[in-house]
Amino acid sequence: MSRNFSATLCSSVAALMTCIAAVAAAECPRKDALGTYRVLAVDPAATPRVGLKSFPQTLPLDDHEVVLTFDDGPWPATDHKILAALAQECVRATFFLIGKPASVYPELVRRMAAEGHTVAHHTWTHHNLKYMKPDAAIGEIEKGIAAVEAALHGKVTTTPSTPFFRFPYFEMTQATLDALQSRGIAVFGTDLWASDWNPMTPAEQLKLLTERLQAARKGIILLHDPKAQTSAMLPAFLRWLRENRYRVVHIVRAGAKTVSDKPQ
């Protein structure tokens, strides 16, 4: 499919929730790898809030399609392992980063982006915004965005290059939801999670997550990249996805350039 045809297709379905790239997200040198099946471009104007754990609607995923998301990084001790596992299987994910550690480890933030992952936002210090005054909550969001953007691009701005945000603890107020929507920032909940904030072995976590996914059959998956058990479990989980014929969908902002946009 040519780039021009892809652009025409996206334009023709602008009223829909998303525009779906009809080509593979990346060429993978390993023919037996899981790979990234397709790219899903998310327009916050059409899709302001997604994730069935918090909202009535989610992304338009087909049966056996998953979106991999990671919260609370960057964290060098585990992210190097996570990025290596994703690269081994040619899989792209979305990282909802906290601004304070992003300002400490900017090279890791840039590595995530350079390896094709989506870098999104998760406040400055992971405070529970539900119990903050509205102005303080917005300040926590904006400071986090500014820190991640500075790490990525060397420029402080509260306008996110990827307008995706996830609330810590999925705790939110109508005021903060309305403020984000007015700024064109999509709020991501999730559809299922591995409960990796609870102590468990990697094998126990793998069993829990795969059982939940077998029941749900598709969805946005929440993991936490600073968790050692998650970084240890991830290679086996990616193999399980491949062996059970699940397909990974990579989410990007509407209009973002991806490897799928290269001239044909």
Q: Where are the alpha helices (DSSP H) in 189-263?
A: 202-216, 228-243
Between CA 222 and CA 190 the distance in angstroms is 6
Distance (Å, whole) CA 93 – CA 39: 11
- H helices, E strands: number in the chain: 8, 11
Angle at 17 between CA 16 and CA 20, to 5 degrees: 85
Beta bridge partners of 65: 247
Burial 12-43 (b: 16+ CB within 10 A, else e): eeeeebbbbbebbbbebeeeeebbbbbbbbbb
| Residues identified as active-site | 71, 224
d(CA 237, CA 232): 10
Distance CA 91, CA 85 (A): 9
Q: Where are the alpha helices (DSSP H) in the chain?
A: 3-12, 76-88, 99-104, 106-114, 134-153, 174-182, 202-216, 228-243
